Amino acid sequence: MSKVAIIMGSTSDLPVMQDAIDILKGFDIEVEVDIVSAHRTPEKLFDFSKNAHERGIKVIVAGAGGAAHLPGMVASLSPLPVIGVPVKSSNSIDGWDSVLSILQMPGGVPVATVALNGAKNAGILAAQIIGAADKCVLDKIIAYKEGLKMKVEEGAKSVRSGQ
């Protein structure tokens, strides 16, 4: 079974990152969750990033606020795809510092970046990456997207009939 790691800089990021955890579990994808601080536990960050693939991890979702160095540092060390989630934190500049820290990576060190507090989309993207090589997950993603389409169509029908 494919596994996705969801890491964050501190426990204060968990309420945002929970959306990624929930969506991945909904696709029956195994999730490994941990706190890995780029600034307070750099040795752990190095070990985690260099060895995640040896534990069966296929994708890393990394969320951080403020300076938000975690996703970029993980991407610099890991051979795995990294999805960065900028988290709006109490000490941030309305979240822009996090967004720009994750978005503006140098050539050769890509981080797929989602919207501010966009952990749900990070989870969906991680599932789609897994689904590219796992038909069971792919089928669940197809069904999920069909469900989104049906909700829109139901809403449109409701709006049209209410006029």
> What pLDDT digit, counting tens, does each position of 50-60 carry?
999 999 999 99
Residue 13 assigned to a binding site: yes
Residue 160 assigned to a binding site: no
pLDDT of 163: 63
Q: What is the pLDDT of residues 13-26, one digit of tens each?
A: 999 999 999 999 99
Residue 161 assigned to a binding site: no
Domain spans of the chain, in order of start: 3-137
**Band (150; pLDDT cuts 50, 70, 90):** very high
pLDDT of 162: 79
Q: CB neighbours (10 Å) of residue 44?
A: 15
3-137 adopts what CATH topology? Rossmann fold (3.40.50)
Average pLDDT of the chain is: 96
